[in-house]
Amino acid sequence: YYFSISQSSWKQSRDECKAKGGDLVKIDSREEQAFLERRVRELMKEGEDMFWIGLTDSAVEVFTSFCSSSFSLKFWAGKEPNNVTEGDRDGEDCVRMGGEFENKDLKCWFDQSCLKPQRSICEKVFVILYTFLLC
């Protein structure tokens, strides 16, 4: 994982992750969510210092991961997603994690305008190749 220091839009963040050979993080399990929540909590400087993850509903108003598959895990905080359109007529189409962490059960996802500068979490998938020698 790479946790960015600089802030940028969701698309710029994704492009930066791709330039590093990865993509915005796709959270695949409760264990991964718990790990990322702990790490984000350590890195946050204040309540709005959140991190983009690889979820968006910019194409259709159903949140999907960046690889366009439906996403079954959900860790929405409170009344999220709420798709507020104030400041961006397209609404809140991208997902960030963070917040005050008063949330229970790892619920720390918030939808936000994709244009708002945020930090981000990049993930690089490692592939392990096995070589077999036949004697």
CATH number of the structural domain spanning residue 21: 3.10.100.10
pLDDT in tens, the chain (135 residues): 999 999 999 999 999 999 999 999 999 899 999 999 989 988 988 878 899 999 987 755 555 454 445 556 788 888 888 877 777 777 788 999 987 655 566 788 988 999 999 999 999 987 777 766 776
**60 is written with which tokens?**
């259709």
Q: How many domains does the chain have?
A: 1
Helix (H) or strand (E) holding 53: strand 51-56
Q: Give CA–CA dist 33/85, Å, rounded.
A: 27
Q: Give CA–CA dist 54/123, Å, rounded.
A: 9
What is the pTM assigned to this prediction?
0.80
**In a domain? residue 129:** no
Residue 61: predicted pLDDT: 52
Q: Give CA–CA dist 108/123, Å, rounded.
A: 19
Which domain range does residue 78 map to?
A: 2-123
Residue 68: predicted pLDDT: 47
Three-state DSSP at 63 gives: coil
Three-state secondary structure of 79-124: CCCCCCCCCCCCCCCEEEECCCCCCCCCCCEEEECCCCCEEEEEEC
**In a domain? residue 116:** yes
Residue 83: predicted pLDDT: 75
